Chain A
Amino acid sequence: MKGMTDFANPAVYVVEGLLVFFILWKIFSARRGRDLFIRRIPGLSVLDEAVGRATEMGRPMLYAPGLSGLDIIGLQSMSIMSHIIKRAANYSTRVIVPLCDPILYTVAEEVARDAYTTQGVPEQFVPEDIRYLTNEQFAWASGVVGILHREKVATAFYFGYYYAEALILTENGQIAGALQVAGTPAITQIPFFLASCDYTIIGDEYYAASAYLSREPTLLGSLVGQDYGKLLMIGLVMLGVVGVTLAALGAHLPGLDSINHFFDKYFLQYFPRST
């Protein structure tokens, strides 16, 4: 049968199995009280400065989750938003959250309400600050640009999935004089954020953000498990490079035949190369 299952070959079982093992192993070892180190991430260390700036200026902050829906990217964005709102709640600073996805909007409203309640200031929660704008890409972008200028936002956070609207938002944020922090798994938009934001978190730092901000053992353990997973990936890539190089040299050096046969039979055939 055609479909995603075409990819579930033995390599998928082994690699996924090892990834899951590393992550769960480190989560449970962290829960048992193992002390774990996490390096400094400048884009997230600046959070207190960003909140402080908005508080001193008496202006609101903006948290935009991009075009994310209710998926892993959107949920991670909600997790980061929760931490930001909690910090902002300590200083009675408003956080405006414009949303593009109606499902994520309902989740965001609950997360924001919960964050204010956790900080003991449920009265600071303003339902109208969690705004569903539209599910049209550029209409949403123009709505956010309007908020940036009308509300004179002091700090803007962009954490979520972005497409072409990323640059429109951040350039307007620059014009509005906002301190801007961004993070996205959308590789094509990272250069635009780097060019126009004050701080940008790159790649898997996006998924490390909640662990970094909360220092929760489960999340820190998961982060260390991820690093083990990345080491596994690096090892596989190195093996692949050696295997493919030997295969290329095999045409000139017949003595490599047995090694190439071994590599092909037990490794390379499970990682088909795209052309």
Chain B
Amino acid sequence: MNYLPYLSLVLPNSVHGRALAVYIIGALLVGAAALFALVCVPPRYRKIIVVAVTFFGGLYFSLEFLLPHQPIAGVPGSAGVARFANSLTKAKPNVADWAMIIGSFTLLLGTSNLFAVHGRAVKKKTEGWYNSLAFFITFFLIMIFGFLKDSAISSLGPGMAKGVQSVATSVYSILFDGFVQNLDATMFSLIAFYIVSAAYRAFRVRSAEAGLMMGTAAIIMLGLVPIGAWLTDWLPSAGPLASLRLENITYWLLTWPNMAVQRAIEFGLAVGAVAMSLRIWLSLERGSFFDRQL
């Protein structure tokens, strides 16, 4: 049985015009009612609700991943399981949208935190308060011109509206392409300088391990630049001695010992993530907010 058509009656893929407004108001009302209901629940039952929601949320993704999506020949009932699994997969974008909606609401909370921190700095004129003032100015400038460049203000008349849009697009372009993008690139380019200072500290040979790392790093650096290839150019490019060419040693170091260690770390991390996910899914997690009486 495909459950998606029934879901589509309540949650269609796209709505426009008045229906869209009805859906937005409806969603807000349902959300407010759900929040109110959760607040009204006695604290000792609230935790049960959280545990249940977490469990069913985890169950959804587990089943979606683990259930076979193709019928298995000779296994009775597998066609039904496959249909159910496929309907779970089809509903995945809708489920993922919930995270985006929650994220949108928290963005408002984040912005209010920014306003509180910088508002206090401006009000009390603390050290560097002008930076906080710059935050407010740029925040409102980019917001206002961002809206203006994409909106047609019909009450101004076609000529005026077009002019406003053109000016807004130019100002927005100066703010975004001129400031934000370039400042971003500036921060990124600083890494080149920081790599040098970090490498200087890392390559000080203070122990046998540090010496080994220094030697390996020197080989890899040489192997990746033309001068490295030139240094061992006299060795034959084929045959047993070819593996001693610097570029080949570099390739071997990166592909075998380095990759093996990276995969070992990845294995450990994956198992750790499985354990953590399992604890959260089954509400076994302890510490921080997990074992607190809600």
- Partner-B contacts on A (CB < 8 A): 1, 3-5, 8, 12-13, 16, 19-20, 23-24, 27, 72-73, 75-76, 78-79, 81-83, 99, 102-103, 105-107, 110-111, 114-115, 127-128, 130-133, 136-139, 141-142, 146, 150, 164-165, 167-168, 170-171, 174, 185, 187, 190, 192, 194-196, 202-204, 206-208, 210, 214, 216, 218-219, 222-223, 225-226, 229-230, 233
Question: Are B288 and A102 neighbours in the complex by a CB distance under 8 Å?
Answer: no
Question: Are A115 and B288 neighbours in the complex by a CB distance under 8 Å?
Answer: yes
For residue B70, which residues in chain A have a CB less than 8 angstroms away from its CB? 1
Q: Smallest CB–CB gap between A234 and chain B, Å?
A: 8
Q: Is residue B37 within 8 Å, beta carbon to beta carbon, of the partner chain?
A: no
Q: Smallest CB–CB gap between A232 and chain B, Å?
A: 9
Question: Are B272 and A164 neighbours in the complex by a CB distance under 8 Å?
Answer: no
Instruction: Using A102-B106, A195-B199 as known contacts, say yes or no to A203 and B184 having CB atoms under 8 A apart.
Output: no
How long is the Cα–Cα vector from A105 to B103 in the complex, in angstroms? Answer: 11
Question: Are B103 and A103 neighbours in the complex by a CB distance under 8 Å?
Answer: yes
Instruction: Using A114-B292, A132-B110, A233-B267 as known contacts, say yes or no to A226 and B275 having CB atoms under 8 A apart.
Output: yes
Which chain B residues (92-108) contact chain A, with CB distance < 8 Å? 99, 102-103, 106-107
Which chain B residues (233-249) contact chain A, with CB distance < 8 Å? none
Question: Are B198 and A192 neighbours in the complex by a CB distance under 8 Å?
Answer: yes
Nearest 4 pairs of A and B residues by beta carbon? A207-B272, A204-B268, A132-B110, A82-B288
Minimal Cβ-Cβ distance residue in A for B61: A4
How long is the Cα–Cα vector from A226 to B38 in the complex, in angstroms? Answer: 36
Question: Are B275 and A103 neighbours in the complex by a CB distance under 8 Å?
Answer: no
Q: Count B-side interface residues using an 8 Å CB cutoff.
A: 66
Minimal Cβ-Cβ distance residue in B for A234: B267
For residue B292, which residues in chain A have a CB less than 8 angstroms away from its CB? 114
**CB 8 Å contact bits of B149-190 with A (1 = contact, 0 = none):** 000000000000000000000000000000010011001101
How long is the Cα–Cα vector from A103 to B181 in the complex, in angstroms? Answer: 25
Question: Are B276 and A75 neighbours in the complex by a CB distance under 8 Å?
Answer: yes
Question: Are B191 and A226 neighbours in the complex by a CB distance under 8 Å?
Answer: no
Q: Smallest CB–CB gap between A164 and chain B, Å?
A: 6
How long is the Cα–Cα vector from A219 to B284 in the complex, in angstroms? Answer: 9
For residue A210, which residues in chain B have a CB less than 8 angstroms away from its CB? 287-288
Q: Smallest CB–CB gap between A79 and chain B, Å?
A: 5
For residue B266, which residues in chain A have a CB less than 8 angstroms away from its CB? 187
Question: Are A204 and B272 neighbours in the complex by a CB distance under 8 Å?
Answer: yes
Interface core residue of B111, B117, B199, B287 (most chain A CB under 10 Å): B287
Q: Is residue B15 within 8 Å, beta carbon to beta carbon, of the partner chain?
A: no
For residue A105, which residues in chain B have a CB less than 8 angstroms away from its CB? 106, 109-110, 113
Can you give 11 A-B contacts (C-beta < 8 A)? A102-B103, A102-B106, A111-B289, A132-B110, A185-B273, A187-B265, A196-B201, A206-B269, A207-B273, A218-B285, A226-B271
Question: Are A167 and B69 neighbours in the complex by a CB distance under 8 Å?
Answer: no
Q: Smallest CB–CB gap between A260 and chain B, Å?
A: 24
Instruction: From the candidates B69, B202, B282, B289, name the one contacting A110 in the complex (CB within 8 A).
Output: B289
How long is the Cα–Cα vector from A78 to B289 in the complex, in angstroms? Answer: 9
How long is the Cα–Cα vector from A83 to B117 in the complex, in angstroms? Answer: 25
Instruction: Using A102-B109, A103-B106, A136-B184 as known contacts, say yes or no to A226 and B89 having CB atoms under 8 A apart.
Output: no
Instruction: From the candidates A8, A13, A79, A136, name the one contacting B287 in the complex (CB within 8 A).
Output: A79
How long is the Cα–Cα vector from A141 to B185 in the complex, in angstroms? Answer: 12
For residue B286, which residues in chain A have a CB less than 8 angstroms away from its CB? 214, 216, 218-219
Instruction: From the candidates B120, B202, B267, B274, name the one contacting A23 in the complex (CB within 8 A).
Output: B274
How long is the Cα–Cα vector from A233 to B106 in the complex, in angstroms? Answer: 39
For residue A73, which residues in chain B have a CB less than 8 angstroms away from its CB? 273
Instruction: Using A195-B201, A218-B286 as known contacts, say yes or no to A138 and B187 having CB atoms under 8 A apart.
Output: yes
How long is the Cα–Cα vector from A79 to B292 in the complex, in angstroms? Answer: 13
Q: Is residue B13 within 8 Å, beta carbon to beta carbon, of the partner chain?
A: no
Question: Are B271 and A233 neighbours in the complex by a CB distance under 8 Å?
Answer: yes
For residue B284, which residues in chain A have a CB less than 8 angstroms away from its CB? 27, 218, 222
Question: Are B109 and A72 neighbours in the complex by a CB distance under 8 Å?
Answer: no
For residue B116, which residues in chain A have a CB less than 8 angstroms away from its CB? 127-128
Question: Are A8 and B86 neighbours in the complex by a CB distance under 8 Å?
Answer: no
Instruction: Using A23-B274, A214-B287 as known contacts, say yes or no to A230 and B184 having CB atoms under 8 A apart.
Output: no
